Each structure stands twice: as structure tokens, then as C-alpha cells.
Amino acid sequence: MSAIFSISATSIYYFFRADLLKDQDERLQTLAQAAVPSLQTIKTKGTKDLNKDLPWRNLFDSQQSLEWFDADGKLIAREGTNFPNFPLAKSASTNRLNEGSPLVEQHGNIRSVSIAVYTDSLNKKILQLEGYIRVNESTKEFDQRMGQLQLGLEVGGVIVLTLSSVSGMFLTLLVIQPIKQSFQNLKQFTADASHELRNPLTVIMTTVELMESHSEQFSADDVRKFKTISTATQQIRHLVEDLRFLSHTDALTDTNVLDYPKVPLDEILQDLADTFETDAQNKKLSFESYLSTDIHIKGDTRQLKRLFANLLENAIKYSRTGGVVKLFLEKHKLFAVVRVEDTGIGIPQEYIPLVFQRFWRAETARLQAKEGLGLGLAIAQAIVQRHLGKITVSSKVGVGSCFQVHLPLA
């Protein structure tokens, strides 16, 4: 935008300048033409009758001067103010003059137009050079006006750019507002729906549990159906809890980040390592943990367990038999750094920015593990954010993945 404006402003400036200079040159040339008859008068009678020679006087103004030269280029008379201190015309320019075209020169702040004056010789066939007339004009006023134009364009440019940026921002806000509002409504709906679904789900769960506890009163087929209802209800409850958790995180701002108590991260991870080692072995994977001791952070134990459980669950879920899952904990400057590495299916590079999006799952992941909603990493990221940390991922298809979490030390 500013580049376009600069180009337009520069073009306007140079267009005006060229136009004004052309006007000025034409005026000077007219004055020089008007002074042609007086050359003969000066050559024959000297300068005493010059003031009576009116045609050029009518055109003359205070910023200008007129000079008469003989055929050899020698100054023979001058009138006015602002005389240039350079000789008539030198070498190349004299040739041009003698060809009959006016010669325009600019020296400092004086602009000159010179013309050659010819008269018919006696036999009327050969033109004879009589002398030269040079008209000069100070360009100080012109330069001042051009300076004002430049300043006007610059100030105007700044005003136009400011106004267009402000109106651009205003329009963007105007356009974005409804989108923001509907996004906000969607978040609010998710928060409300997940809240409202909790009670009916609890009723279903307790009823099914009650029926299961009196299984002797029902047929074996009915009991199997209760089991199916119970599993499905559990899944819905998990989803509802996850959505509730994410809605709650969305509502948090930097100013209301919770102040958590100091917790031993090494012990939390050791507990998880014990649980997931068994899960890994069940899937014929080896599990290794390398945990530095005495590492404390400010956090919520339940959430931290959820965060690292989600990462370990993925590492196991997206690995094939014979793979290795590793869990590391170490201190790095002011942070506790946790790494979960696997030798699993990996994530294609172009999908890496998507993995933390809600409900996103890679096609290969769907084939490898049917179960999953695509919420585990979104929740992991939300927990990391609540703890003022950072989560990153690096991965290579067919080689494995590494999720790294930085959390500030207590």
C-alpha cells in the first residue's frame, strides 16, 4: 500500500515539475522572440533607445533578465536582474543554437533560454547570423513551490496511509466480529452442552450399574446388553469430561491462571511409568524410563498425570510389536523437560501442525488404532498451557515420534 502510494506521489511530483518547466521555457522563449527586433536597434544605436522598445518590456517581470549578444557570442547589452555568471553557450550547445532551436539551460537556480537571431542577407537567399538573445529567470520561487508540493504530497501521503490503515483495521474488526461471535457461541454451546449432559449420563450409569449388580434377575442376553450400554456410556462420559475440560481452559486468561501447589514431577512420572510398562509389555513393546530425581514444579497432579498418560498412551498405541517407548525427565535451566519417544508409525511432516487440533486424527492412525477421538493431544496441550509450559513434537514416518514438554521448575 505504502509502495503504491510512494510511486503515485513521485509520478505526480515529476509530472507537475515537467509541466511547469515546459510552461516556463515557453514563456522565456516568447520573451526572447519579442526581444529579437531590439537586437538590431542595439547593434546600430546602442542601448539608449532600449527602454522605448516595448514588445519585450510588456512581457518582462522582476525575476527575469534579458541579454543581447553579437554574432561572436559577445555580450552587448543586458536588462533586468538575476544574470547568470556563465558564458552564452559553449561548443555543442552553440551548434544547436545555430540550427535554430532554442537552447534551455539550468545553472544553479537560474534557468536560461537562448535563441539565435538571423536576418536575410541582401540577395534574400542566405540567412545571416545577427547575434543571440538569452532570457534568464530565477527558479527560486519555482523550487519553493515544488518544495511545498513535495511536502504536501508527503503529509497527504501520511494522512492517507494513516486513514486507510485505520479504516482497514476498522473494517477488518467489523468483518471479524460476527465470526468471533459465532466461534464464541460455539464454545459456549460446547461448555453448556457438556455441563448439561453430565447429570443424565450419571443417571444412566448408576441405573446400568444397579441393573448389572442384580444380574441374576435378567437373562444372559440382557446382561450382555447392559455391558454394551455401560461401555458406550463410559465413552460418552469421557468425551463430555474432555470437552468440559477444554471449554474451561478456553475460558482461562493469562490473568486468571491458577496458582498450583508444588508437586514432585519425578514421582508422578514414576507412577505412570509403572502403569504404562505393563501396557507396553502387553503389546510386546519394551519400555524404558530415565527419570532424574528431586524435580518439583507447580502443578495439578491429576492434570499432569492426564497430560503424560495421553502422550504415553499414544506412544504405545501408534507403535508396532517390537518397538521401544522411552520416558525421560531432566532439568534444563529453569525448566523440567519431559520427553516421550517411540519407534512407531510416525507423523507425516505436513500433519505435524495439526496434531494438537481438536478431533484431528491421521489416516494411518485410524488404521493402526480404531479407537480414539483426536482429543488426547488437544487436552495435553491445554494442560501444558495451564501450567505455563510448552509442548513440541518432532517425528519421522516409519522411524518414530518424540513429544517434548517444558514446564517451569518450582
Ligand X SMILES: Nc1ncnc2c1ncn2[C@@H]1O[C@H](COP(=O)(O)OP(=O)(O)OP(=O)(O)O)[C@@H](O)[C@H]1O
Chain contacts with Mg ion (rule: CB under 5 A): 314, 376
Task: For the CB of residue 376, give the shortest distance to Mg ion in the complex, in Å.
Answer: 3
Which option in Mg ion, ligand X, none does residue 362 bind, with CB closer than 5 to 8 A by kind?
ligand X
Cell numbers that stand for 259 in this block: 496458582
323 binds ligand X (CB under 6 A): no
Q: Is position 382 an interface residue for ligand X (rule: CB under 6 A)? A: no
Least CB distance to ligand X at residue 226 (A): 24
Does the footprint of ligand X cover residue 111 (CB under 6 A)? Answer: no
Q: Scanning residues 10 to 29, which ones bind ligand X (CB under 6 A)? A: none
**Partner interacting with residue 343 (select from ligand X, Mg ion, none; CB below 5-8 Å by kind):** none
By CB under 6 A, residue 348 contacts ligand X:
no
Cα distance between residue 239 and residue 96, in whole Å: 92
Question: Rounded to the nearest 5°, which phi and psi values hold at 109?
Answer: -105, 30
Which residue lies nearer to Mg ion by CB, 160 or 369?
Answer: 369
Angle at the Cα of 62 (from 57 to 63), degrees rounded to 5?
A: 115
> Of these, 373, 388, 409, 410, which contacts ligand X (CB under 6 A)?
373
Stretch that binds ligand X, among 60-68, 127-135, 259-267, 355-363 (CB under 6 A): 355-363
344 is an interface residue for ligand X by CB under 6 A: yes
Shortest reach from residue 333's CB to Mg ion, in Å:
29
Strand-strand pairing, 296-298 and 324-332: unpaired
Q: Which is nearer to ligand X, 34 or 362 (CB)?
A: 362
Region of 132-140, 212-220, 250-258, 344-352 interacting with ligand X (CB under 6 A): 344-352
Residue 279: how many other CB atoms lie within 10 Å = 15
Please report how close the Cβ of residue 258 comes to ligand X at its closest, in angstroms: 23
Q: Cβ of 2: how many Cβ atoms within 10 Å?
A: 12
Rounded to 5°, the CA angle 407-243-377 comes to 40
CB 190 → ligand X: shortest distance, Å?
16
Length of the chain (residues)? 410
The least CB distance from residue 307 to ligand X, in Å, is 11
Q: Which residue is nearest to Mg ion (CB)?
A: 376
Q: Which is nearer to ligand X, 73 or 374 (CB)?
A: 374
- Distance CA(321)–CA(232), nearest Å, equals 28
Binding partner of residue 342 among ligand X, Mg ion, none, CB cut-off 5 to 8 Å per kind: ligand X
- The residue (of 111 and 361) whose beta carbon lies closer to Mg ion is 361
Number of residues counted as binding ligand X (CB under 6 A): 22
Q: How far apart are CA 53 and CA 43, in angstroms?
A: 14
Please tell me whether residue 361 binds ligand X under the rule CB under 6 A.
Answer: yes
Please identify, using beta-carbon distances, which residue of 303 and 310 lies nearer to ligand X: 310
Residue number with the smallest Cβ distance to ligand X: 376
Which residue in 38, 114, 138, 314 binds ligand X (CB under 6 A)?
Answer: 314
With binding defined as CB under 6 A, does residue 375 bind ligand X?
Answer: yes
From CA 94, how far away is CA 38, in angstroms rounded? 21
Q: Which stretch binds ligand X (CB under 6 A): 17-25, 80-88, 157-165, 369-377?
A: 369-377
Q: Which of 73, 264, 348, 372 binds ligand X (CB under 6 A)?
A: 372
Min dist. Cβ of residue 364 to ligand X (A): 7
Residues near ligand X (CB under 6 A)? 310, 314-315, 318, 342, 344-347, 355, 360-362, 365, 372-378, 401
